[in-house]
Amino acid sequence: MPSRMKFLIGLVAFTVVLRLLPYLLTTYDAVINPSAYYYPWNFIPLTAVCLYSGAYVADRRWAVVLPLLALLISDLGIWAFTGHFSMGFPSDRWSAYVCGLITVFLGSGLASRAWPLRAFDALGRGMLAEVIFFAVSNFAYFVVQTDLPHTPAGLIACFVAAIPFAGKSFASTAFYSVLLFSPLAIRAAGQPSGARVGIHSAV
């Protein structure tokens, strides 16, 4: 297995652990929820991992499957930790998978860029991916929710209410997008600093 594929699998595992950590901590009576200022909720590399997979895994099937597998495994874990299927797979959850797929394709071509333009490009695409996720996921939630009226005013209120929870997602994507496309990550993946070629997975 190519070293960069192993690196990506490690990123997938790391993402799963970070997504499940707050739910694990709550089993020990820790008070952790998305509004807790002291816990870095949503500060996970999922969007950046999708970009990285799209950039470096030449086999498009694996480029899509690996990062979405992180989402699926962690969703299953949330269901297991909470005991509620709707926590892991709410009715609007499809939107996260669609946005993950879009983000993988946004990563195409990033591997051919030289440093530091590669990092700036990854940062820009990561921010675009977060905007898409914010718009699509909150619209999907608005469609299925029953607390707000299904009117333009209700839609605006839904988006406004989601803004405080989006900050850590944008910050984490900015951090991990630059990090994963830096020379440091390239060396960690076992590739020379100037490598621009993607992986052709043998599996």
Indicate the domain borders of the chain. Answer: 3-188
Residues 75 and 129 sit within 8 Å (Cβ to Cβ): no
Residue 42's nearest CA partner among 167, 179, 134 is 167
* Residue-wise pLDDT tens digits, 100-159: 999 999 999 888 888 888 899 999 999 999 999 999 999 999 999 989 999 999 999 999
Cα 12 → chain centroid: 10
- Find how far residue 3's CA is from the centre of its chain: 22
What's the CA gap between 149 and 143, in Å, rounded? Answer: 10
50-99 tens-digit pLDDT: 999 999 888 889 999 999 999 999 999 999 998 999 999 999 999 999 99
- Residue 1 banded pLDDT, cuts 50, 70, 90: low
- Looking at the DSSP bridge assignments, the partners of residue 199 are 57
Which H or E element spans position 157?
helix 152-180
- 24-49: average pLDDT: 79
Provide the pLDDT for residue 193: 42
Most distant CA atoms of the chain, gap in Å: 55
